[in-house]
């Protein structure tokens, strides 16, 4: 059985932040997890690479207040859009 999107994502965050994955809660902000701005951009890259998705440009994405759950939601949205686009082209 494959990990859920949330599990996969939390693993990526834990690796980037060099923290135990158990520390990460859905409501944790990236700031809570000690992820600074440039690391957050690296994290976005890691997530895009892992799920093969592209997040929309979001200059001003607020890494102080964005939570782990909001990232899960964003990934799920991008995956759903990718799936819909894939079906559309069949």
Interface positions, 55-84, toward other proteins (CB under 8 A): 57-61
Straight-line distance from the first to the last Cα atom of the chain, in angstroms, rounded to the nearest whole number: 27
Q: How far is the CB of 66 from other proteins (least distance, A)?
A: 13
Residue closer to other proteins (CB basis): 20 or 57: 57
Interface with other proteins includes 52 (CB under 8 A)? no
What separation in angstroms does the CA of 86 have from each of 43, 47, 82? Answer: 26, 20, 6
CB 43 within 8 A of CB 30: yes
- Rg over CA atoms, the chain: 13
Residue closer to other proteins (CB basis): 52 or 59: 59
Binding site for other proteins (CB under 8 A): 36-38, 41, 44-45, 54, 57-61
């Amino acid at each position: 059985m494959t990990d859920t999107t949330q599990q996969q994502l939390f693993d990526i965050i834990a690796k980037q932040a060099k923290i135990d994955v158990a520390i990460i809660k859905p409501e944790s902000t990236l700031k809570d997890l000690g992820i600074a701005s440039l690391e957050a951009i690296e994290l976005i890259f890691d997530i895009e690479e892992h799920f093969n998705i592209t997040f929309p440009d979001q200059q001003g994405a607020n890494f102080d207040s964005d939570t782990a759950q909001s990232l899960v939601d964003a990934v799920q949205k991008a995956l759903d859009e990718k799936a819909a686009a894939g079906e559309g082209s069949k």
